[in-house]
Amino acid sequence: MSLLVVKNLVKRFGSFTAVEEITVEIAKGEVCTLLGPSGCGKTTTLRCIAGLESFDAGSVALDGEVLADPAKGVFVPPEERNLGMVFQSYALWPHKSVGENVSLGLKIGKVSAAEIRGRVADVLKMVGMAGTEKRFPDSLSGGQQQRVSLARALILQPACLLFDEPLSNLDLLLRERMRFEIRELLVKLGITAVYVTHDQSEAMVISDHIVVMKEGAVKQEGAPADIYTRPRSRFAAEFLGRANLLPVDRAASAPAEGLVAVTNGYIFESGEAARLTESDEAMLVAFRPEMARLVDADENLANAFDAQVRSVSFLGAQTQLELDFSGDDLNLLVPGHYQASAGDTVRVVINAEDVLVIVDDDPDVQVLPS
């Protein structure tokens, strides 16, 4: 059974609709990430869950209890929702010591001083900040501050923890380390969490479940690997990583035979060709750069074609190639150090099941490899 249920949530700011009928269900013990670019409504959704914003329609329920539902006139104030929150800016109170920051919630809950002391020490130890009770936030580094902020949210043992881009203010190295630590902690404590980020790799590490959002609506949701390998739209494909996108030529395609033609004249065999019949929208053929292989020029396999090398960049573990495929740009990642130079012709092959057929949800933009 889902612990947190957001149903048909609508939030407007004046005439602007920030969130349009979003429905998200989060199971107990699951970490769910709301992923999307800035302005997609993910933070607004999170704040609606927290109770920091009221909304116009829909409902939020926690463990079967309605927290907010404008239609029924229910609005449980945020301080009574039993939710914890970690803010983007850490939001540590600069005039309070670390100990005071972490313990305020317990103090409000009238917990005894002795118990507070013990629990503060425990939770600080848990986040790797043991013994810092007396220090003040401005003497801590950004990462340490974020740990304290996490401790402050954890200490109340909330039913669900809300993260609002908690790592976006940290530098890259720290960010990459912290996301593993947070994941580890959440899993260890079995905490249900809603995590907001615009960083897809962060989302991949942290989440059990990703909800990809755009312009206030859910584009796709599912397990991280699922969304990465099987995006359903150009937006999801591009947002979770690089993808090669080629516009579909419907007239030349034969979905029934598993054949999808692209506008440069090539015809792909695709496991998803049937999707062409599912809607009339503009469609794209998509595949991830690492899904294609380079083969010898004379090998004649299905989905094998020639392309001209434009540039080669050696990245260490991989080599990145920019190719010209009959006028379309392609981007490939091949393992190891691949030796080629501009102007060379290479033969590309890709498995039919890796050739995705997705909706072009932004057809006005010229298709380029991301």
Q: What is the nearest approach in angstroms of another protein to the Cβ of residue 244?
A: 40
In the complex with another protein, the residue whose CB is nearer, 144 or 233, is 144
Q: What is the nearest approach in angstroms of another protein to the Cβ of residue 87?
A: 5
- Give the integer Cα–Cα distance in Å for 177 and 201: 12
Q: What is the nearest approach in angstroms of another protein to the Cβ of residue 151?
A: 11
**Amino acid in position 318:** Q
Q: What is the nearest approach in angstroms of another protein to the Cβ of residue 206?
A: 20
In the complex with another protein, the residue whose CB is nearer, 42 or 152, is 152
Length of the chain: 370
Residue owning tokens 């969130």 = 19
In which order are the strands placed within the sheet that holds 193-197? 83-86, 160-164, 193-197, 31-35, 209-214, 217-222
In the complex with another protein, the residue whose CB is nearer, 126 or 352, is 126
Residue 87: how many other CB atoms lie within 10 Å? 17
Q: Write the Ramachandran bin of 110: left for phi over 0, alpha for psi from -120 to 50, otherwise beta.
A: left
In the complex with another protein, the residue whose CB is nearer, 88 or 201, is 88
Q: What is the nearest approach in angstroms of another protein to the Cβ of residue 241?
A: 31
In the complex with another protein, the residue whose CB is nearer, 192 or 233, is 192
| Strand intervals (E) in 215-298 | 217-222, 244-247, 259-261, 267-269, 283-287, 293-295
Q: What is the nearest approach in angstroms of another protein to the Cβ of residue 185?
A: 18
Q: Which residues pair with 314 in a beta bridge?
A: 319
Which residues in this chain contact another protein in the complex, by CB under 8 A? 50-54, 64-66, 74, 76-80, 83-85, 87-89, 91-95, 104-105, 108-109, 149, 152-153, 156, 162
Longest dimension (CA), the chain: 78
In the complex with another protein, the residue whose CB is nearer, 42 or 288, is 42
- b/e sequence 261-274, b meaning 16+ C-beta within 10 Å: bbbeebbbbbebbe
In the complex with another protein, the residue whose CB is nearer, 196 or 292, is 196
DSSP string, 283-318: EEEEE-GGG-EEE-TT---TTEEEEEEEEEEE-SSE
Q: What is the nearest approach in angstroms of another protein to the Cβ of residue 306?
A: 53
